[in-house]
C-alpha cells in the first residue's frame, strides 16, 4: 500500500471503542433547530445554574425568542455579523442562540483583548451590532468605531439577589482595571439594556430559512499564537457535524442527563462547542462560571455531582498540586477531558498518581469547529492526542512538497471532514494555500507538525511556524520543552528559534523557575541539564530566566510574543 492509501484506509478505526461508529450521522439541521428541539424535549430540565440561580430550558428558550424578535425588529437579518463581547454568563447563551435565530452570524470577541485587537476583529468581520458586557465597553469606545447598536448587560442581571454584590466583587478581582459605565450611557442613541429589551419584547421570532451547509453560524477568530488573528468561517453544518461527531465518540454520555462544569470561556472554540453547544443541544445542565475560581469549581463539582470535567493543561498543572483537589472524587466522573494545548507527560503522570483517574486528551482547532481527534474511551495513549473523529480523515504530508509521508514520519497534518471550516474570511490568498485536492476531496493543511504511529494514534510536535532550523537540522521546540518540564525546579518554559546568519536559528529557552529555586539555579545549570538528554544540536545556546511568560487568552505559552520581543531587542 502506498503512503497516501495508508492514511486514506483509516487504520485508526480498528482502535475505536466498540460503541463508536466509523461514520456519525449528521442531521441536516441548523443549530437553531437543534436548540429548539432540545428545549422542547427537556423543557422542565435545568439548562443553566449560575451561582445558584437555576434557568430551565423553557425559560432559556423564552428569552432567546424574545431577544431574537428584538434583533429582527431592529433590522438584523440573515448574514449580518453580530459581535459578542461577553464573559461566560446566561446572557452569552441567550444572545448566541438569539443571533442565530434572527439569521445573523455570531463573531465572539475575547474579553481580554486589547482595544486594538477588538478593533481589528470588528473591522475585519464587518460587525455593526454588538452585545457587550458593561464593564468591557470602555475598550469599544477606545477603538473609535461607532456601532449601529450596542446591547449592554451587567453580570448581576442574572445573579440571585443575595449573590449580586458577590458577583461584582468577583469581577472587580478579575478585572480590577475596569469600571462599570455610568447609567447615562443607556440614554445615548443606539444603546439598549439587554435585560429591559428582553422583558418588553414578545417571543415572536422570525422564520429564517437556513441552508446549514452554506450559511455561516459563527465567525470566530484564530488565537493569533503565530500570526494576526483570522476570521474562520463556520457554517451551521460544520458546528452541527462537530457536535454529532463528539457525541458519537463519547457514547458513555447520555442525552438529557449530563451535568457539565462550564468555566472554559465561550468565546474560545473549545468552550463554545465542546461545553456550551454540546451541553445545550443534548439537554444537559451547565454549571456556569464567569471566572474560573478554583474553589468554586471544586465545590460545585461535588454539590451538583458533575459528570464530566473539561479543562486545559495549565488548569490540570495547577490542580495536581492544589491542596483541595482531593476533596473531589475524580474516579466518579465519566470523562475528564484536556484540550487547547499539549498536556505535558509529567503533568499526566502526577495527576494519575494523585487522583487515580485518567485524563483523556483531544485535539482541535478553530478551523475544525473545535475538535478533530480524541483518545478512545479506555484506550488513551499517553503522549498522543488520539484518533480522528468519526467522519474525519487525517494524513501526514511533507509541508514543502505536499507529498504523503510514510507512517511514523513527522510532517504537516491535513484533514478532511464535515467539521472543517469553509475558509478564512476575506483571505482568498490564504485559502488557496491552505486547501488541497486529494482524489476529489478537499483537505485542509493544519500548519501542525505531527506524526501518526502504526496504530493510528497521532502525536503532536509543533506548529510549522515554530520549527527551528539549526545548521540544517529540524528542531522541535516542544521536544526541548518536554525535557525542561522534567526538571524539578522548572515551572514553565517557552522555547524559540532566534534568527542567526551563521546557523539559521540558535535556540533560546525562556524559563520560569519555582520561587524557591530562583537565584540558586544558573543558566549554565539548565543548559547542562539539557545536554544530559538532548542531541548537541537541540541544546539551547541561551537560557533566559523570567518571572512569567506571555500567554494567550486560554493559557497557552505565546511563542509569537516571545519572538516579537526578540525582534524588538534587535
Instruction: Tell which residue, 366, 359, 402, 368, has the closest CA to residue 388.
Output: 368
C-alpha 492/C-alpha 550 separation (Å) is 11
Domains 54-235 and 468-569 share a fold: no
Q: Which helix (H) or strand (E) holds 216?
A: strand 216-218
> Other C-beta atoms within 10 Å of 398: how many?
12
Give me the residue spans of the domains in the chain. 54-235, 468-569
Residue for grid cell 483583548: 113
> Other C-beta atoms within 10 Å of 382: how many?
13
Return the pLDDT at 168.
53
C-alpha 304/C-alpha 49 separation (Å) is 10
Tens-place pLDDT, residues 68-96: 999 999 999 999 999 999 999 999 999 99
Residue for grid cell 429582527: 72
Neighbour-count burial of 185, counting CB atoms closer than 10 A to its CB (0-12 exposed, 13-18 middle, 19+ buried)? middle
Fold assignment, 468-569: GMP Synthetase; Chain A, domain 3 (3.30.300)
C-alpha 292/C-alpha 290 separation (Å) is 7
Q: Which three cell numbers stand for residue 20?
A: 463508536
Q: Give CA separation, 243 vs 250, 269, 535, in Å.
A: 11, 12, 43
Return the pLDDT at 570.
47
Q: Which helix (H) or strand (E) holds 451?
A: strand 441-452
Q: Which helix (H) or strand (E) holds 117?
A: helix 115-125
Q: How long is the chain?
A: 570
Return the pLDDT at 176.
47
Instruction: Tell which residue, 342, 383, 347, 360, has the closest CA to residue 466.
Output: 342
Return the pLDDT at 567.
62
Q: Give CA separation, 395 vs 289, 370, 434, 461, in Å.
A: 38, 18, 14, 15
Return phi, psi of residue 257, to 5°. -130, -15
Return the pLDDT at 498.
87
Rg (CA), the chain: 24
Q: Is-contact 394 7, C-beta < 8 A?
A: yes
Start-to-end Cα distance in the chain: 50
> Other C-beta atoms within 10 Å of 466: how many?
23
Instruction: Tell which residue, 219, 217, 221, has the closest CA to residue 240.
Output: 217
Looking at domain 54-235, its CATH architecture is 3-Layer(aba) Sandwich (3.40)
Return the pLDDT at 421.
97
State the helix-helix crossing angle for 345-355 and 477-485, rounded to 10 degrees: 40
C-alpha 293/C-alpha 315 separation (Å) is 11
Instruction: Tell which residue, 308, 362, 358, has the closest CA to residue 334.
Output: 308
Neighbour-count burial of 110, counting CB atoms closer than 10 A to its CB (0-12 exposed, 13-18 middle, 19+ buried)? buried
In 3-state terms, what secondary structure has residue 306? coil
Residues of the chain with pLDDT under 70: 161-187, 223-227, 472, 553-555, 567-570
Return the pLDDT at 100.
97
In 3-state terms, what secondary structure has residue 370? coil
Which residues make Cβ contacts (< 8 Å) with residue 323, sequence separation at least 6? none
Percent of the chain clearing pLDDT 90 (strictly above): 67
Tens-place pLDDT, residues 501-540: 777 788 999 999 998 888 889 999 999 999 988 888 889 9
> Other C-beta atoms within 10 Å of 128: how many?
16
Amino acid at each position: 500500500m502506498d503512503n497516501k492509501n495508508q492514511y486514506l484506509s483509516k487504520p485508526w478505526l480498528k482502535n475505536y471503542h466498540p460503541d463508536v461508529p466509523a461514520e456519525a450521522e449528521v442531521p441536516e439541521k441548523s443549530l437553531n433547530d437543534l436548540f429548539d428541539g432540545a428545549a422542547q424535549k427537556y423543557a422542565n430540565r435545568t439548562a443553566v445554574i449560575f451561582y445558584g440561580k437555576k434557568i430551565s430550558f423553557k425559560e432559556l428558550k423564552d428569552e432567546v425568542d424574545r431577544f431574537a424578535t428584538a434583533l429582527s425588529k431592529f433590522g438584523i437579518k440573515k448574514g449580518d455579523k453580530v459581535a459578542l463581547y461577553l464573559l461566560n454568563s446566561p446572557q452569552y447563551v441567550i444572545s448566541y442562540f438569539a443571533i442565530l435565530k434572527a439569521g445573523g452570524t455570531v463573531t465572539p470577541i475575547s474579553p481580554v483583548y486589547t482595544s486594538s485587537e477588538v478593533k481589528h476583529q470588528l473591522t475585519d468581520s464587518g460587525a455593526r451590532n454588538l452585545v457587550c458586557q458593561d464593564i468591557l465597553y470602555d475598550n469599544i469606545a477606545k477603538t473609535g468605531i461607532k456601532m449601529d447598536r450596542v446591547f449592554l448587560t451587567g453580570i448581576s442581571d442574572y445573579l440571585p439577589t443575595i449573590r449580586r454584590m458577590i458577583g461584582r466583587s468577583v469581577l472587580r478581582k478579575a478585572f480590577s482595571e475596569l469600571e462599570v459605565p455610568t447609567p447615562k450611557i443607556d440614554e445615548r442613541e443606539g444603546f439598549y439594556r439587554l435585560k429591559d429589551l428582553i422583558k418588553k419584547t414578545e417571543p415572536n421570532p422570525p422564520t429564517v430559512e437556513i441552508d446549514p451547509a452554506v450559511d455561516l453560524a459563527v465567525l470566530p477568530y484564530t488565537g493569533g499564537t503565530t500570526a494576526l488573528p483570522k476570521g474562520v468561517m463556520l457554517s451551521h453544518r460544520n458546528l452541527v457535524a462537530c457536535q454529532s461527531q463528539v457525541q458519537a465518540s463519547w457514547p458513555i454520555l447520555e442525552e438529557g442527563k449530563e451535568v457539565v462544569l462550564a468555566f472554559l470561556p465561550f468565546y474560545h472554540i473549545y468552550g463554545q462547542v465542546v461545553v456550551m453547544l454540546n451541553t445545550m443541544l443534548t439537554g444537559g445542565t451547565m454549571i456556569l462560571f464567569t471566572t474560573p475560581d478554583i474553589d468554586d469549581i471544586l465545590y460545585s463539582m461535588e454539590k451538583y455531582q458533575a459528570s464530566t470535567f473539561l479543562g486545559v493543561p495549565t488548569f490540570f498543572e495547577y490542580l495536581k498540586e492544589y491542596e483541595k483537589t482531593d476533596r473531589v472524587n475524580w474516579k466518579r466522573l465519566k470523562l475528564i477531558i484536556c484540550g487547547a494545548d499539549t498536556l505535558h507527560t509529567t503533568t499526566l503522570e502526577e495527576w494519575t498518581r494523585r487522583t487515580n483517574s485518567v485524563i483523556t486528551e483531544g485535539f482541535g482547532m478553530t478551523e475544525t469547529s473545535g475538535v478533530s481527534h480524541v483518545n478512545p474511551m479506555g484506550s488513551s495513549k499517553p503522549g498522543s492526542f488520539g484518533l480522528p473523529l468519526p467522519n474525519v480523515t487525517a494524513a501526514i504530508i511533507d509541508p514543502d512538497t505536499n507529498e504523503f509521508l510514510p507512517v511514523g514520519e513527522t510532517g504537516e497534518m491535513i484533514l478532511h471532514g464535515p467539521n472543517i471550516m469553509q475558509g478564512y474570511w476575506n483571505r482568498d490568498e490564504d485559502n488557496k494555500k491552505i486547501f488541497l485536492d486529494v482524489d476529489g476531496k478537499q483537505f485542509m493543511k493544519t500548519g501542525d507538525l505531527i506524526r501518526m504511529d502504526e496504530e493510528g494514534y497521532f502525536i503532536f510536535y509543533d506548529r510549522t511556524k515554530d520549527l527551528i532550523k539549526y545548521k540544517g537540522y529540524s528542531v522541535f521546540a516542544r521536544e526541548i520543552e518536554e525535557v525542561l518540564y522534567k526538571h524539578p525546579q522548572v515551572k514553565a518554559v517557552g522555547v524559540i528559534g532566534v534568527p542567526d546568519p551563521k546557523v539559521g536559528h540558535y535556540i533560546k529557552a525562556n524559563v520560569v523557575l519555582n520561587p524557591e529555586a530562583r537565584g540558586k539555579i544558573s543558566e549554565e545549570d539548565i543548559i547542562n541539564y539539557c545536554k544530559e538528554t538532548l542531541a548537541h544540536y537541540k541544546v539551547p545556546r541561551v537560557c533566559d530566566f523570567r518571572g512569567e511568560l506571555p500567554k494567550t487568552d486560554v493559557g497557552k505559552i505565546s511563542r509569537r510574543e516571545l519572538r516579537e520581543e526578540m525582534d524588538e531587542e534587535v
